[in-house]
Amino acid sequence: MIAVSAGGAHSCAVVRGGVIGGAVWCWGFNGSGELGNADPFLASSNVPVQVSGLGSDSGVVAVSAGDSHVCAMTSVGVVWCWGYNASGQLGDASTTDSNVPVQVSGLGSGAVAISAGSSYSCAVITGGTVKCWGDNGSGQLGNGSTGAGSSSPVDVVGLGAGASAVSAGGGHTCAVTTASGLRCWGDNGYGQLGNGSTGAGSSSPAGVTGLGAGAATAVAAGSSGHSCAVSTGGAISCWGHNANGQLGNGTLTDSWTPVDVTGLGALASAVSAGDAQSCALTAGGAVRCWGANESGQLGDGTTNQSATPVDVFGLK
């Protein structure tokens, strides 16, 4: 297994096959073709099915599942997307759904990282610029405008070069850059941009308070208004919506600037932000989660929410 990603009601994985990369398999809901297996009846599947055209020799190295679409990236920087496309989130200059992968146009020198959000997608391009495509109702494409989306990639303005990671959430996006640190743009109804304000969003990147150049190594934008980042020292901070404790600081109070996740117990190497929960992979290989838990998404054997990290059962 090379990579795995969980979307709205479907999941996908890259299974090693060739010398570099591998095949893509997906499972779950398929109402818009998000399984990518060319099924004309759009039947869902409770077991993995192979994505059409992305077999073991395709060289896929990364996959990202959005709300109802999926994007995959090959080792040479080509990006393919499939599924729902009403907002142009497949990036093929159309708004037609596709049950097979279509190539994203206009990525220039190719992608080095991808992220599929709720109804839009983003990629880090060779050289460190960022491009996004799809819905832009909250300015999440970062091109200085709000409202009109784009069915092909547009440049995120004001970010400059040097981006190493990007995360597309529900209506906001965040990127890690070498020169200007962690920056976010789009919806800010809960303070998820982390710039000390709430309400007014931003259609171009805004700096996250306290996370300047060199301060963060990874970022995750949640789908319902919160964000989290891994610092260079391995600590995690989160900001934005916190009604279910998804910021992990022991409270249920929203924060417009980053707050430290308490009780993580070990340094972190990765973080993921879901709807109203967050999870971290520690340097020792353990997984800890916090936030909403009505469906057991924290994995601790209960359905009780937690405002501080709990161990995922059986993965210690």
pLDDT digits (tens, 9 = 90+) for 91-107: 999 999 999 999 999 99
pLDDT above 70 (res 312): yes
- Quick one: pLDDT at residue 262? 97
pLDDT digits (tens, 9 = 90+) for 244-279: 999 999 999 999 999 999 999 889 999 999 999 999
15-31 mean pLDDT: 94
Return the residue matching tokens 């040097």.
162
- Quick one: pLDDT at residue 1? 86
- Quick one: pLDDT at residue 315? 73
What's the number of CA atoms in the CB half-sphere (13 Å) around residue 313? 8
- Quick one: pLDDT at residue 19? 81
197-208 mean pLDDT: 96
> Structurally, what CATH architecture does the domain formed by 3-225 represent?
7 Propeller (2.130)
- Quick one: pLDDT at residue 316? 57
**Amino acid making up residue 316:** K
User: Rounded CA gap, 231 and 270, in Å?
Assistant: 10
Pick the closest to residue 231 from 293, 181, 304, 287 (CA basis).
Answer: 181
Instruction: Assess contact for 276 and 286: CB atoms under 8 A.
Output: no
Instruction: Assess contact for 206 and 176: CB atoms under 8 A.
Output: no
User: Rounded CA gap, 229 and 40, in Å?
Assistant: 40
pTM: 0.97
- Quick one: pLDDT at residue 17? 87
The Cα angle at residue 11 between residues 216 and 32, in degrees rounded to 5: 115
- Quick one: pLDDT at residue 11? 97
The domain segmentation of the chain, as residue ranges, is 3-225
Pick the closest to residue 83 from 5, 182, 188 (CA basis).
Answer: 5
24-45 mean pLDDT: 98
For the beta sheet containing 147-155, the strands, ordered from the edge strand earlier in sequence to the opposite edge, are 111-116, 120-125, 129-136, 147-155
User: Rounded CA gap, 226 and 246, in Å?
Assistant: 8
pLDDT digits (tens, 9 = 90+) for 103-139: 999 998 999 999 999 999 999 999 999 999 999 999 9
pLDDT above 80 (res 160): no
Tokens coding 220: 């995750």
Parallel, antiparallel, or unpaired: how do β-strands 60-65 and 45-50 relate? Answer: unpaired
In whole angstroms, how large is the CA radius of gyration of the chain? 18
Helix (H, G, I), strand (E, B) or coil at 224: coil
Parallel, antiparallel, or unpaired: how do β-strands 45-50 and 69-74 relate? Answer: unpaired
